[in-house]
Structures are given as structure tokens and as C-alpha cells.
């Protein structure tokens, strides 16, 4: 699973700030986000919760999808997340990562 191209959405909390990314190594990228490596915006705003993932067989298609999602309005992204993850659970926990601590609403979200 970790060596295929993925588009992913991270969130700071339920309906909080959302970050859109693409990677060919999902496990490494989640680790980088959570440890502040090559991850300035998510680290600054506490956006570490993996709430949506799409797998692709081709990096070019994944990059196209990432660009598409980055141009979406926020309500569209929320609908996308909630279609498969209505409670905004941290999907990275199922991949073996520790749960992310809840941040306060004031904490950047």
C-alpha cells in the first residue's frame, strides 16, 4: 500500500483545516507530516489527521487529482471526506500510527 501513488487529505480536527497532498509513499509522508519534516503548513496548523485517501496506479493521474481537489471549494472537500468518513476518524491509526491528540478550536484550525 505504501509505494503506490496516493492523494490524501489531512485535517486538524472534525471539520477543521484541510490539507491536500500527493505522494508515492504514504507511510513515509504521514510520518513526515507528524514529525514536521518537509511539512510546514500542516505542522504550523496542527493538520495531522488522515481523513481521506485515494490510491492511483499512475503518479500522473494522482497529480491531476491532487490539482483538481486543491481547486475545489471547501464544502466539496467536506462532502468528499464525509461520504466515506463521516466522523473524520484518523485513518492513519489503521496503518499503525498513534492517534493524534485533539487540538483546541483556538489552536489553528
Residue 51, sorted as left (phi over 0), alpha (psi -120 to 50) or beta, turns out to be alpha
* Spatial CB neighbours of 6, under 8 Å, sequence gap ≥ 6: 22, 23, 24, 26, 53, 54, 55, 56, 62
At residue 100's C-alpha, the angle toward residues 94 and 102, to 5°, is 135
For the domain made up of 6-107, the CATH class stated in words is: alpha beta
* pLDDT tens by residue, the chain, 109 residues: 447 899 999 999 999 999 999 999 999 999 999 998 888 888 888 899 999 999 999 999 999 999 999 999 999 999 999 999 999 999 999 999 999 876 555 444 4
0.75 exceeded by the pTM? yes
Amino acid at each position: 500500500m505504501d509505494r503506490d501513488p496516493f492523494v490524501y487529505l489531512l485535517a486538524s480536527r472534525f471539520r477543521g483545516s484541510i490539507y491536500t497532498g500527493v505522494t508515492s509513499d504514504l507511510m513515509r509522508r504521514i510520518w513526515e507530516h507528524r514529525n514536521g519534516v518537509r511539512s510546514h503548513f500542516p505542522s504550523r496548523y496542527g493538520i495531522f489527521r488522515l481523513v481521506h485517501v485515494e490510491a492511483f496506479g499512475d503518479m500522473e493521474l494522482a497529480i491531476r487529482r491532487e490539482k483538481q481537489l486543491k481547486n475545489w471549494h471547501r464544502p466539496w472537500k467536506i462532502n468528499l471526506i464525509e461520504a466515506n468518513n463521516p466522523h473524520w476518524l484518523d485513518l492513519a491509526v489503521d496503518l499503525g500510527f498513534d492517534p493524534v491528540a485533539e487540538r483546541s478550536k483556538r489552536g489553528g484550525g
